Amino acid sequence: MPAFKPPFIPSSEITPKGLYLGRRHFMAGAGAIGLAGIAPPALAALNAKKTDYVVGDTITPKEDATTYNNFYEFGTGKGDPAAYSGDFKPFPWKIKVDGMVAKPMEFDVEELIATLPLEERVYRFRCVEAWSMVLPWTGFMLSDLLQKVEPLGSAKYVDFRTAVRPDQMPGVNYPILEWPYREGLRLDEAMHPLTLMAVGIYGDKLPNQNGAPIRLVLPWKYGFKSIKSIETITLTDTQPQTSWNMAAANEYGFYSNVNPERDHPRWSQASERVLGTGGGFFGGGDRRDTEMFNGYGEQVASLYAGMDLIENY
């Protein structure tokens, strides 16, 4: 594995707009994909049923989706997760669900994969940095997992935390963010049928750089809400802190719904670069207009009825 390069950006600029990487950095990421994408047990086909949750857009090429990632636990560059996640061991893996529930439990992820109904869903995925993909996820509804622990009537929010493994996640040795990475949802968002706990992509188990062994996928929110390598889920009556809101509250709100009318302070959200249509790490390719709720308004707009979505960003 190549040696990990510490972040070169100052802490005051922890979310650079940069969509470009040097050729040498690109080659490091692409060259390591064979190692970073395999963790014991080796990638294996997942038995999932097809669903109607499919968009008509062309699916992003697998190589683009597995070499161009945000996963700061492995570095700040788009190629870093593929280049530096080869030592990460996603199995065996336990995920604890506790807090305001009747039956707090700890689950083995491989048992969840074997026992919960898996579905393959093709979702649009929109990054706050104004690029997008269309990805075939395999997973189960988060509501299926939460129902097992029986949320209490007092529960209003869901708090998620990523694992922190300094020996396997080189990025957490640097104060880029306050570790562990954390995210949160309202309970009704968490229980929505679009909210997916993904365990696979392109028909295989998740590669390390894509959030192995289990991650959240929220297709109507910006990508940083879809927390990776989840270790704990806690139900609470208090709105959880979230990593990017803690780091830069004026840029990253709690809801983070895709909204072309609410620009990031440093760039427009009115359009997006479609990854996999040319340009690669160096920009370019097709552009499309950004859709409200990333095109999932018919399914999720009712969750935010009466809310000011400029103020509640």
Residue type, 307: M
Peptide bond into 265 cis (omega under 30): no
Given a cut of 50, is residue 52 above it in pLDDT? Answer: yes
Domain assignment present for residue 19? The answer is: no
pTM: 0.86
Give the model's pLDDT for residue 152: 98
Using CB atoms within 10 A of its CB, is residue 307 exposed (0-12), middle (13-18) or buried (19+)?
exposed
Give the model's pLDDT for residue 78: 95
Domain assignment present for residue 311? The answer is: no
List the beta bridge partners of residue 124: 134
Give the whole-angstrom CA distance, residue 130 versus residue 275.
Answer: 10
Give the model's pLDDT for residue 284: 81
CB 238 within 8 A of CB 157: yes
Domain that holds residue 74: 25-304
Domain assignment present for residue 211? The answer is: yes
Query: Among 128, 91, 114, 118, which Cα is nearest to 224's?
Result: 128
Domain assignment present for residue 20? The answer is: no
Given a cut of 70, is residue 36 above it in pLDDT? Answer: no
Query: Among 155, 211, 204, which Cα is nearest to 181's?
Result: 211
List the beta bridge partners of residue 185: 158
Give the model's pLDDT for residue 42: 34
Domain assignment present for residue 291? The answer is: yes
Number of domains forming the structure of the chain? 1
Domain assignment present for residue 313? The answer is: no
Give the whole-angstrom CA distance, residue 66 versus residue 106.
Answer: 29
Instruction: Give the model confidence (pLDDT) of 58-78 as tens digits.
Output: 999 999 999 999 999 999 999
Give the model's pLDDT for residue 283: 75
Give the whole-angstrom CA distance, residue 100 versus residue 237.
Answer: 8
Domain assignment present for residue 272? The answer is: yes
Report angle CA 252, 257, 259 to the nearest 5 degrees: 95
Domain assignment present for residue 204? The answer is: yes
Given a cut of 50, is residue 25 above it in pLDDT? Answer: no
Cα–chain-centroid distance for residue 267?
21
CATH number of the domain to which 297 belongs: 3.90.420.10
Residue type, 48: A
Give the list of residues 6+ apart from residue 195 with CB closer than 8 angstroms, or none.
Answer: 141, 142, 143, 185, 189, 216, 217, 218
Instruction: Give the model confidence (pLDDT) of 247-282 as tens digits.
Output: 999 999 999 999 999 999 999 999 999 999 987 666
9 confidence band (pLDDT: 50, 70, 90): very low
For 142-203, strand residue ranges (E) read 157-162, 182-186, 196-201
